[in-house]
A and B are shown apart, each in its own frame.
Chain A
Amino acid sequence: MRDVAIVGVGLTKFGELWNQGIRDMFAEAALAAMADAGVDKIDSMYVGAMSSGLYSYQEHTASVMADYIGQRGVASARVEAACSSGSQAARTGFFEVASGAADVVLVGGVEKMWDVDDGTFVLATASDQEYEAYAGVTFPGLYAMMAQVYMQKYGLTREELAQVPIKNHRHAVHNPYAQYPFELDMKTYLTAAPVADPFRLMDCSPITDGAAAIIMVPLDQAHKYTDKPVKIKGIGSATGPIALHDHKDLTRLDAVRLSAEKAYKMAGVGPDDIQFAEVHDCFSIAEIIVAEELGFFPYGTAGKAIAAGQATYGGKLVINPSGGLKAKGHPVGATGVAQLIEATLQLQGKAGKRQVENAKIGLTQNMGGSGGTSVVHILEAV
């Protein structure tokens, strides 16, 4: 297999993009990524989109996007893995370049979520439809149950849980693409509208429109496109139980651990080598459990470690320097690609005021459902 590098990135602003449909957003991000890499022709492309059908009544998304970005003729396929669609698309693009089948591959992710009445229903289709969604439970409820068990088992308080979104909002202040680039205080957190006990509004990632795209090429050709290529050093993807009731332990996410083990093995690094991580904080509790499964903190301690400042600048590592899903926004199909973009910018030293000092190696973790899929990428500055 050839080594693969990211040589171009493009993002739309995340938020309520009332004047843009999925193709407009995708084209904006894709053309920005192509301009960043200095290419006007690609060999192949992958589109991560969770539910363009239910959200925008548009299927056959991969062809629409190829056509609309002026690349009619190329191979284009959509990859769907719920909220991990974007990073699953990136993994697919990685293997096409690594195998030698293509030299310039565009991987984009997109989701248009503000145009429908009931986005929570659409998202719930990523759970176990027969056992969970039909019974009336949606993702806030599923993750709330995980939070309940975790808080009971490990004595995590709401004030400690609060530190996850408070930290991520503080990081997002310096992210010009973030949906909510403002600080969150404890009082606002504690008095926000109840969603699913123990979650209130500020425990939950928002509904977001947005798109993200990257250009991948073989590492040995990367310097043709950029002075600062970022190598994809490791990839791991794994599945876990689709239904929450099949988790052996509600405070664990097996797919995250398995995907991380694969990625660490391929990259030849361990958790202690990771300087920063973009992780899937779809709900506050998720960042805590994910940080444990990735090996950053022992089980039962990540909540307290985050509250103690161990996951921000000056701590053990920086988790979600972009602001994470909570504050940067979570256009589901785009999220995995946007995480890779944040990691790329950090490793290129282009992250502005949110730059992690001397960043050489970073990790991204993107999740589908309540742990049904997890995809981990490990990236390195070269």
Chain B
Amino acid sequence: MVGIVGYGSYVPRYRIKISTIADQWGDNAATIEKGLMLQEKTVPGRDEDTITIAVEAAKNAVKRAGINPQDIGAVYIGSESHPYAVKPSGTVLIDALGIGPHVHVADFEFACKAGSEAMFVAYSHVKSGNMPYAMGIGADTSQGAPGDALEYSASAGGSAYIFGSENVIAEVIDTHSFTSDTADFWRREYQMYPRHGGRFTGEPAYFKHVLNATGIILEKSGMKASDFAHAVFHMPNGRFPLKAGKTFGFTDEQMKQGWIVNLMGNTYSGSSITGFSAIMDILKPGERALLISFGSGAGSDAFVFEATENITAVQNKAPKIREMLESNRTYLTYGQYVAYRRKIQFND
């Protein structure tokens, strides 16, 4: 049996309310909140970045797995906000956690699905018998240009998953990836903020890939919506994932635990997999969960998991994501927000 042996998440304590951003730009806050189904989003502190977020999440994953970090054979971090254009994020992380140096490390990028991609590869290593444990992480301090619709959702956070074949807490039942060259959202080198194709990011991008990935994995695994206790779909806003899930008959009840976007925003590479972390926090032995990511460009990764009896013992070994989202919040003004996000220019 191959599956998850440990998982962990992290979100910064700082928040900005959607209404604060709307007020800044003269938008109607109620319209935005209703349209995007968002209330607030996380903001990285001045000393936080993708690496520090990945480290926090990975520490929580190691705590839950209860393994020797030296036994981890591969570490992959998926992000679209790696602090360095050239120099890996993963090397900092392995040093911080005492992993390696006999370890394979790589940084991944695939817009919002780089995290599930890292999980996909980590899982494949263990499944093939290459190594006893491999870790896949998705973390981001997402960018959105001031005044752009993305500013309402782009947030910070991430999750880490360690795959193994002993003491598995959630078995991987099936996986599928659906990918095509669909340029709905991109950021070229030296550009500070991503650009996007407006409404093109909807039907021909998000929905095409998410619905195909979901439909195919359900067909492959011979399952239907009612076979799952929970499901989570990538959350660029509040509305898209619910619409996608309902297409296949998933109910609000099945989607509500993983639907953390109203409090967290879109943590890009950390979005669907952090929603999945919220599901892992309450998943019971024998229950199944569906994870569907989406990355612009574009593709979706699909996973079917089934919890084992080991899951209950590890859930309380590290902080749970909904507790992190719902406590210890520090709200920022728009001025503090732009300073924290370095959207204004400083003298070095």
Residues of A within 8 A of B (CB): 16, 18-19, 114, 191-193
Contact = CB atoms under 8 A, between A and B. Distances in A.
A192 B200 CA distance: 21
Most buried by B among A16, A18, A19, A191: A18
Contacts, number: 15
Given A18-B204, A19-B204, A191 B31 contact: yes
Contacts of B203: 16, 18
B204 A114 contact: no
A184 B203 CA distance: 23
A191 B28 CA distance: 8
B152 to A, nearest CB: 13
Nearest to A188: B31
Nearest to A15: B203
B28 A114 contact: no
Contacts of B199: 16, 114
A191 B200 CA distance: 25
A18 B208 CA distance: 12
B287 to A, nearest CB: 38
B200 A114 contact: yes
A213 to B, nearest CB: 25
Nearest to B195: A117
Contacts of A16: 199, 203
B201 to A, nearest CB: 11
Contacts of B200: 18, 114
B194 to A, nearest CB: 14
A208 to B, nearest CB: 12
Interface in B235-249: none
Contacts of A18: 200, 203-204
B31 A193 contact: yes
B298 to A, nearest CB: 13
Interface of B: 27-28, 30-31, 199-200, 203-204
Contacts of A114: 199-200
A220 B200 CA distance: 48
A16 B200 CA distance: 9
A192 B31 CA distance: 8
Contacts of B204: 18-19
Contacts of B27: 193
User: From DSSP, what is the main secondary structure of chain A's interface residues?
Assistant: loop
Given A18-B200, A193-B28, A193-B31, 12 more contacts: A16-B199, A16-B203, A18-B203, A18-B204, A19-B204, A114-B199, A114-B200, A191-B28, A191-B30, A191-B31, A192-B31, A193-B27
Nearest to B27: A193
A18 B198 CA distance: 12
A114 B31 CA distance: 24
Contacts of A193: 27-28, 31
Contacts of A192: 31
A191 B32 CA distance: 11
A25 to B, nearest CB: 16
A206 to B, nearest CB: 11
15 contacts: A16-B199, A16-B203, A18-B200, A18-B203, A18-B204, A19-B204, A114-B199, A114-B200, A191-B28, A191-B30, A191-B31, A192-B31, A193-B27, A193-B28, A193-B31
Contacts of A191: 28, 30-31
A18 B28 CA distance: 30
Contacts of A19: 204
A18 B31 CA distance: 27
A349 B6 CA distance: 68
Contacts of B30: 191
A19 B200 CA distance: 11
A114 B30 CA distance: 28
A19 B27 CA distance: 32
A106 B28 CA distance: 47
A331 to B, nearest CB: 15
A193 B31 CA distance: 8
B34 to A, nearest CB: 10
A19 B182 CA distance: 12
A19 B203 CA distance: 11
B288 to A, nearest CB: 34
A130 B27 CA distance: 32
A191 B27 CA distance: 11
Contacts of B28: 191, 193
A315 B199 CA distance: 38
A83 to B, nearest CB: 21
B70 to A, nearest CB: 50
Give the 10 A-B CB pairs with smallest separation, nearest first. Answer: A18-B204, A16-B199, A191-B31, A18-B200, A18-B203, A191-B28, A193-B31, A16-B203, A193-B28, A114-B200
A265 to B, nearest CB: 45
A240 to B, nearest CB: 33
Nearest to B197: A117
A114 B28 CA distance: 26
B24 to A, nearest CB: 16
B208 to A, nearest CB: 9
Nearest to B26: A194
A82 B133 CA distance: 64
A373 B59 CA distance: 69
B199 to A, nearest CB: 6
Contacts of B31: 191-193
A197 to B, nearest CB: 12
A262 to B, nearest CB: 40
Nearest to A115: B200
A191 to B, nearest CB: 6
A191 B33 CA distance: 13
B341 to A, nearest CB: 25
B240 to A, nearest CB: 16
B13 to A, nearest CB: 32
B342 to A, nearest CB: 26
Nearest to A16: B199
A118 to B, nearest CB: 10
A329 to B, nearest CB: 14
Nearest to B32: A193
A191 B29 CA distance: 11
A287 B204 CA distance: 34
A144 to B, nearest CB: 17
A193 B27 CA distance: 8
Nearest to B208: A18
